[in-house]
Amino acid sequence: MAENKLDNYLHKFLRYLQVEKNASEWTLKAYVNDLKGYGEFLKSEGIESPTDADSGTARLFFSRLYDEKHQRATVARKISALRSFYSFLKREEDIEMNPFLLANMPKKEKKLPHFLYENELEQLFLSFDVKKPLDQRDLAIFELLYATGMRVSECCRIQLEDLDEDVGTVLVKGKGRKERYIPVGSFALEAISYYKNNARQSLAAKQKQGVSAALFLSNKGTALSERGVYYVVRKRVQNVSQMLHISPHDLRHTFATHLLNNGADLRSVQQLLGHENLSTTQIYTHVTKDRLKSVYENAHPRARKKGESS
């Protein structure tokens, strides 16, 4: 009974996320998984409907998650999902109070973003054989992700018309339907142009009905999915080195890291990344320590031992 009632509310909630919040497919799946798990908890406690839950239910669920040894990041994600779910139910006047509103979120572990050094990136870029169609596409993907710092979901949403090669910019459709223009460097533009004029045409020819306007196509001629981009990055990196373990998001980290290390200001990096809050971008300031140390050693009269050259 609890599962049926949860399914009804979940269906309405997912519809809201999809239509009003423009949530990605992966976001929707994450909500489904978290809320289905919550439904199993309600059933085990004999609670027939999510609308019957109270603050005591929330505390008990919180405790259950820790008993099951979930990581803090996982607990925080599940609690956040339930807060959003119950906020929606309150908005729809299905409940009077959000039982998860006052739940204390676990402090996140402070993990520094993983990024690549320039020589590691160069090794990756040199590994592509541009005579091969899929290598042309994959190189263009790598170059664009590194050149712009865009998210994978944003990369997959790029249409041919969004790229202005003359001006050197791309229109990016970000979270919550927010749009921003990002400059695209010459290496990325060259790789994309070569892919568009060669491999993309042969890939598009495989789709007989309704050729996609997406910039990046799969080997079947359809728009390349987020999962497809993750597969491309993982496969290409493994081909180069078993020691490198990166995701497309690490290229976003690398973009921000390299900009800051080379003198870009934090506010500009924030705008390029599409972060709503500057505090989100500040995590990247850790990487500037090497640059600051270099500046200090070159500028301070007593930073180096006698006889050392700058």
**Cβ contact 2:51 at 8 Å:** no
pLDDT tier at 73 (50, 70, 90 boundaries)?
Answer: confident
pLDDT tens-digit readout, 252-274: 999 998 998 888 888 999 999 98
pTM for this prediction:
0.63
Q: Are strands 169-173 and 163-164 parallel, antiparallel or unpaired?
A: antiparallel
- What number of other Cβ atoms are within 10 A of residue 123's Cβ? 14
What are the structure tokens assigned to 104, written together? 């204390």
Q: What pLDDT digit, counting tens, does each position of 276-298 carry?
A: 888 788 877 765 555 566 667 77
**161-173 average pLDDT score:** 95
* Per-residue confidence (pLDDT) for residue 299, from 0 to 100: 77
- Rounded to the nearest integer, the mean pLDDT of the chain is 86
Would you state the pLDDT for residue 1?
45
Return the pLDDT at 161: 96
Query: Which pLDDT band, with edges at 50, 70 and 90, does 247 fall under?
Result: confident
- The pLDDT of residue 295 is 66
Q: How confident is the model at residue 304 (pLDDT cuts 50, 70, 90)?
A: low
- Containing 61, the helix (H) or strand (E) segment is helix 55-67
Catalytic residues: 151, 175, 249, 252, 275, 284
| CA neighbours closer than 13 Å in the CB half-sphere of residue 61 | 31
Tokens of 79: 């609690």
Query: How is residue 136 written in tokens?
Result: 């042309």
Question: Is residue 101 predicted with pLDDT exceeding 90?
Answer: no
Quick check: 195 and 140 in contact, CB under 8 A? Answer: yes
Q: Tens digits of per-residue pLDDT, 175-218?
A: 777 899 999 999 999 999 999 999 999 999 988 777 899 999 99
> pLDDT at position 308, please?
59
> Could you tell me the two tokens for 271?
């705008």
Going along the chain from its start, the domains and CATH numbers come out as 2-91 (1.10.150), 118-293 (1.10.443.10)
Residue 306 pLDDT exceeds 60: no
6: CB partners within 8 A, 6+ apart = 35, 36, 38, 39, 42, 49, 50
